[in-house]
Structure 1
Amino acid sequence: MSLCSLTQRVLAASVAAVVGLTLASAPPAGATPANPLVGNWGVHTGKWDNTYPAYQHAHGHKKRLYGKVALRPHAAWFTAHTHSISTSLERYIERTQHGDPNKLVQFALFRQWPDREARRHVPLTAADQAAYRSWMDTVAQTIGNRRVMIILEPDLALDAPGGHTADPAVRLSLVRYAAQRLSSLPNATVYLEAGAPDWLKASTATQLLIDAGIGYTRGFALGGTHHTSVGADVNYAAAIASGLAARGYPGKTAVLDTADNGHPFTYQRYRKHHSHKSFLTPITCKRKRQRVCVTLGVPPTTNVTAYSRKLHLNATQNARLATYVDAFVWVGRPWRAGNGKSFSRKRLLQAARTTPFR
């Protein structure tokens, strides 16, 4: 047996050993063939977010807890500050597919804020705009014909809560370019990030999605870095999809981020209970019965209706879930401070220990 084959077998055994692990593998009963996410999802075994190395070096109960994240598909974030986007993305794809081109690779792309959002009041120069298009071209060339799911530009070019944006029309035109370029790839499924129901009105999100190129993409993504309930997100998805259909963009579907909403709360509720704590790094739950804190939500899957009872959804929400939602995905990263800074073993273990989902 080759070393490569042995490594793949060991990885498969490790993934299968996690108790309660839920992946989107074989198409679930009732799955729509039109859903491009149905099928085998790759699990990354590299070092990009430190979760897999932590799992590798853990033992006993801690190893099982680390496995709740490390052995489940979750999306990497690639930004303007990613070192060598082509090399980094290539390595990420290779360490997620492990030689199987049918495995779905998931990641998010942030590039419209080259100097981070603190400088959103500074207009992009012609050179900035050219660099954005070149960066997206490189991403597209690196992906080629491989099977990927892309969450594109969270928060879009918002001139809304969070501060004034100097040139939203310019930034939205760049996102449109990326949406068209990436969606033209044969096996890429693109979702434009549309925020959360505690952030923007559905009508505002609908207009932003149209301006950002929703016509090119499969649909939109909800809940990234927010912690609203699946029920609220489903209602929001239905409102946005209906608004898009009324504007000439029918059939758009959503993916919902459930990485960190096991005990859901809104931005407003969090500020009321923890006015002195940062919403970007919300407190993790220390006990299973604790609320207004972060813990892991529904495991990533395309079998979204399997969790209806556990999520306490009503009949209308169940129907909307089946109609408008392609998958539950993990885009948020509650095991990292600020969703993107340092990896925290303590945060991961607390979130894994307190989740209401197996």
Structure 2
Amino acid sequence: MALSRLALLASAGLIVAALSTPTSDLPDAAASAGALKVVKRTPSGDYTANGNKIMRAGSSSSELAGTWGVYNGPADMASVAYEKGTKAQRADLRWLINQPRAGWMGSWIPDGEIAAKTRRYIELSQNGDPDALVQVTIFRMDPWYTASKKKAPTKKQIASYKRWIRASAAAIGDTPTALMLQPDATFLRTVPNFKLSSRLIRFAAKEYGALTNTRVYLETGGWDWPSPGQGGVKEAVRLLTAMGMQHADGVVTNTTHYNKTAWDVQRVADISEAFAKKGLRGRKGIVNTSSNGKGFEFGRYTGKDPDHAFVCGKKLKGTCVTLGIPPTTDVANPVWGLDEKTRQLAKKYVDAYMWVGRPWLKRQTSPFMMKRTRKLIKYSPYRGQ
């Protein structure tokens, strides 16, 4: 729950340069990072994303099964580092680069530029295939984190938020999209004007939810946030209701934490069942698996800064971060090593495992860290799958 992430995001020079500058002005080196690929998946979605290994076991009825685009353009810091890397560095990074990853867009992109940047992101993600699924994370609330605990959005900020969201949604249009809305939304519990802030997220959920080919997943922390001691599932449902679950297709969990996949699959299932009892059926979920190759509870991290958790070593000792299950809709496949109960829950309630979080960045925001990333890849128990 990094209280300084917003400042880091706002000051991330590479992101600002890549997403706030007209595409035609990008340097040749950055533009070359847009040499992209589309990951072809079987209709059942029985695939890992990286092209190294096709999973034939199991099946998927997920709404997200099919073809997924892979964005490796100039707004992705890992991709830019890959393009500039040595031969050895590129060899190590290739598995990461080949994974579909949900690009983040937020207040660092001006209102007047978000439409053009979104269209360009879609173009590079799909790489000529209009049916390829685009993954995007919307992180637009302003103020947020520490600032949001002290003051509510002003009239000017509210108008800017709505203008930005409308332009973003219009640019997405009928593009097949999986949209993760407002990471760390559990911070709503601490804001001075809960109704106003939650109403803004609900506005966004409604705008994106009205798009014909977009599936909207509201962020809801995860198994450990809100934890059972913070109200658990009941509190998560309260927050999600306020954020407009009636306009969304489900939830996304674990975007900035490290929960074990099994824990968050259970949380998704419990939330879905809770809403079904309220008459809102069919809500499913996405679990972020970018950072939980060896999952742990955020509040029990044994180091100094859980937002920048130590990378796991050869023996995976202690609380540490490493890359988890590769992006896939084949969520119940035995190859992932999940227990039978979790596999059955995932098959029923989870649309996909996706890489929404970014543990390869400093404090999950900026800048890209080559040494850290190579170690994340080297010691992932899922490397090459």
Q: Residue 288 of structure 1 contacts residue 356 of structure 1 at CA under 8 Å; is this kept in 2?
A: no
Map of 1:323 onto structure 2: 348
Task: Give the superposition deviation at 1:159.
Answer: 4.2
Cα distance in 1, alignment partners of residues 244 and 233 from structure 2: 17
Task: Give the superposition deviation at 1:157.
Answer: 5.8
Q: Residue 219 of structure 2 contacts residue 253 of structure 2 at CA under 8 Å; is this kept in 1?
A: yes
Cα distance in 2, alignment partners of residues 73 and 107 from structure 1: 10
Map of 1:37 onto structure 2: 64
Q: Residue 27 of structure 1 contacts residue 39 of structure 1 at CA under 8 Å; is this kept in 2?
A: no
> How far does the alpha carbon of each residue in 1:305-348 deviate from its partner, in whole angstroms, 9 at most, with x for none?
12x4543x333222111100000000000010121121111121
Map of 2:317 onto structure 1: 290
Cα distance in 2, alignment partners of residues 131 and 11 from structure 1: 32
Task: Give the superposition deviation at 1:29.
Answer: 5.0
The amino acid that maps onto 2:69 is: G
Task: Give the superposition deviation at 1:23.
Answer: 8.8
Task: Give the superposition deviation at 1:130.
Answer: 1.6
Task: Give the superposition deviation at 1:122.
Answer: 0.6
Comparing 77-86 with 259-268, greater Cα deviation is found at: 77-86
Map of 2:25 onto structure 1: none
The amino acid that maps onto 1:118 is: T
Cα distance in 1, alignment partners of residues 177 and 38 from structure 2: 24
Q: Residue 156 of structure 1 contacts residue 172 of structure 1 at CA under 8 Å; is this kept in 2?
A: no
Q: Residue 77 of structure 2 contacts residue 367 of structure 2 at CA under 8 Å; is this kept in 1?
A: no
The amino acid that maps onto 2:280 is: Y
Map of 2:50 onto structure 1: 21
Q: 1:64 aligns with which of 91, 94, 106?
A: 91
The amino acid that maps onto 2:374 is: L
The amino acid that maps onto 1:182 is: Y
Task: Give the superposition deviation at 1:26.
Answer: 10
Task: Give the superposition deviation at 1:115.
Answer: 3.6
The amino acid that maps onto 1:150 is: L
Comparing 177-186 with 61-70, greater Cα deviation is found at: 61-70
Q: 2:118 aligns with which of 82, 86, 89?
A: 89
Map of 2:208 onto structure 1: 182
Task: Give the superposition deviation at 1:25.
Answer: 9.2
Comparing 251-260 with 122-131, greater Cα deviation is found at: 122-131
Q: Residue 191 of structure 1 contacts residue 217 of structure 1 at CA under 8 Å; is this kept in 2?
A: yes
- TM-aligned CA distance change 1:151 to 1:24, over 3 Å: farther
Give the paired residue count: 336
TM-score by length of 2: 0.81
Cα distance in 1, alignment partners of residues 38 and 147 from structure 2: 47
Cα distance in 1, alignment partners of residues 187 and 219 from structure 2: 11
Q: Secondary structure at the match of 1:190?
A: strand
| Alignment gaps of 5+ in structure 1 | 1-6
Task: Give the superposition deviation at 1:150.
Answer: 0.5
Q: Secondary structure at the match of 2:279?
A: coil
**How well do the aligned residues superpose, as a CA RMSD in angstroms?**
2.6
The amino acid that maps onto 1:341 is: S
The amino acid that maps onto 1:243 is: A
Task: Give the superposition deviation at 1:213.
Answer: 0.8
Map of 1:238 onto structure 2: 269
Identity %: 29
Map of 2:252 onto structure 1: 221
Q: 2:198 aligns with which of 166, 172, 189?
A: 172
